[in-house]
Amino acid sequence: MIDGSLIFITALAVAAGTGVWLSEGAGRFREILLAESLFTLELLPKIVAGVLIASALPFLMSRDRVQALIGPDSGMRGLAIATLAGAIIPGGPSVTYPLTIGLMAAGADLGAGVALVSGWVLIGLNRTLIWELSFLPPEFVALRVALSLPVPVFLGWIVRRFRREIRLP
Amino acid sequence: MNILIGTILLWALALLVLRRLRRHAPEHLDDVLTRSRATVTFLIPRVFVGLVGAGFMAELLPVDRIEHWFGESAGLGGVVLATAVGMATPGGPFIAFAIGAAALKAGAAWAPLMAFITAWSVMNLNRAIAYELPLMGRHFLLIRSAASLPVPLVLGLLVLAW
């Protein structure tokens, strides 16, 4: 239950919390703690649903088909498919990460997983259309999307290469 | 409100998936439920600590100086600095794009803005700590981050050289 990453994020939270307490007082500290606790509660049902989907997905999808589409030997086409999936899937981290876990359990490789997550964070349609365009000039957004377009495929390719050089399966 | 719609959609999808599972592979149903329960128990303390920590870090971030860092005389140093600020900027898209828009209005150049938005997108510490680390594990996070680290710098420099 308690591992390195939990200890690490707890230490960070305690350090930042101490900083807030010292610089802005106990009142602000309690305010933030309460707000984030409530947010965790709000998020809880989403997390449960996401985990259920991620756990069930591998049993529902044919391993052969997932592997052929976005498996280790799916080539550039597989990375492009994973990128596209990441870009068009609507939803935040509690949807995209469980979905990636589910797909990786069903036969997608690490490179495709990285391409999918990168496609979501860099060119996610939802975020770009709803948020970015309402704040930033369209010319800037267009340039950013154009420059970012090849990046997820490239990152997936890097990860695949790197993995092959480190240890052959 | 947004989170409510998202939750409803996600649960609709979850129930659909579970119904399919019960119809096509009912022998795995118990296994899926047990595993889900274990995963959720594993996640809850991590997401809670991650969100609280990110909330505290957001409070400590010197927002009033961000405009200054994005200044017109930015150049290469601005791109590097914008990358670091983008990584450390917590919160959802609303905050990051609002900061970007404010910086642009104050006369910031496109290159550091590109580096900032891209760094916030690919390397966001907040999202990494609250979601990616607990959900995907250290291995995935480290490999994806290592590969993504140069991206904001490269895109920022491309715009700078434009």
**Within a domain: B65:** yes
| Average pLDDT, integer, range B148-159 | 94
Instruction: List the single residue in B with minimal CA-CA distance to A144.
Output: B114
Residue A73 is assigned to a structural domain of this protein:
yes
Domains in chain B: how many in total? 1
Q: Which domain holds residue A9?
A: 1-49
Contact B49 A13 (CB under 8 A): yes
According to the model, what pLDDT value does residue A125 have?
A: 81
Place of tokens 């807030």: A20
pLDDT of residue B56: 85
pLDDT of the residue at A165: 61
**Based on the domain organization, do A73 and A44 belong to the same domain?**
no
Nearest CA in chain A to B48: A40
Inter-residue contact A43 to B47 (CB < 8 Å): yes
B16 is a domain residue: no
pLDDT of residue A123: 93
Residue B126 resides in a domain: yes
Distance CA B120, CA B135 (A): 19
A-chain residues near B91 (CB < 8 A) = none
pLDDT tens column, A68-96: 999 999 999 999 999 999 998 767 787 78
User: C-alpha angle with apex A48: A113 to A38, nearest 5 degrees?
Assistant: 110
Tell me, yes or no, whether A55 lies in a domain. no
Nearest to A156 by CA among B115, B129, B119, B151: B151
Contacts of B17 in chain A (CB under 8 A): 52-53, 56-57, 60
For A40, which residue in chain B has the nearest alpha carbon?
Answer: B48
Task: Identify whether B86 is part of a domain.
Answer: yes
The verdict on residue B81 lying in a domain is yes
In the numeric block, the tokens 């090849």 are attached to: A150
Q: What is the pLDDT of residue A1?
A: 65
How far apart, in Å, are the Cα atoms of A135 and each of A60, B47, B93, B125?
40, 29, 10, 22
Q: Which residues in B lie closer than 8 A to residue A52 (C-beta atoms)?
A: 14, 17-18, 32, 36
Q: Is residue A54 one of the residues assigned to a domain? A: no
Tell me what pLDDT residue B69 has. Answer: 66
Contact A101 B136 (CB under 8 A): yes
Q: In order along chain A (169 residues), what is the average pLDDT of each group of 10 residues?
A: 75 91 95 91 85 82 86 93 88 83 91 96 83 83 95 96 63
* pLDDT (tens digit per residue) in B47-87: 788 778 878 877 776 666 655 666 666 678 889 999 998 99
B67 occurs within a structural domain: yes
The pLDDT of residue A169: 39
Q: Does A122 touch chain B (CB under 8 A)?
A: yes
Q: What is the residue range of B135's domain?
A: 61-161
Alpha-carbon span A128 to A136, nearest angstrom: 10
**pLDDT score for A168:** 41
Q: What is the ipTM of this complex?
A: 0.73
Q: d(Cα A111, Cα A83) in Å, to the nearest integer?
A: 11
Residue A56 lies in a domain: no
The mean of the pLDDT values for chain B is: 83
Number of domains in chain A: 2
Q: Residue A104 is encoded by which pair of tokens? A: 């990786």
A9 contacts chain B (CB < 8 A): yes
- CA closest to B58 among chain A residues: A16
What pLDDT is recorded for position A83? 96
Question: Do A111 and A69 share a domain, yes or no?
Answer: yes
Q: Reduce the DSSP state of residue B11 to 3 states and report it.
A: helix
- According to DSSP, residue B91 is labeled S
Instruction: Name the token pair of A138.
Output: 């369209």
pLDDT tens digit sequence for B35-51: 889 888 888 888 788 77
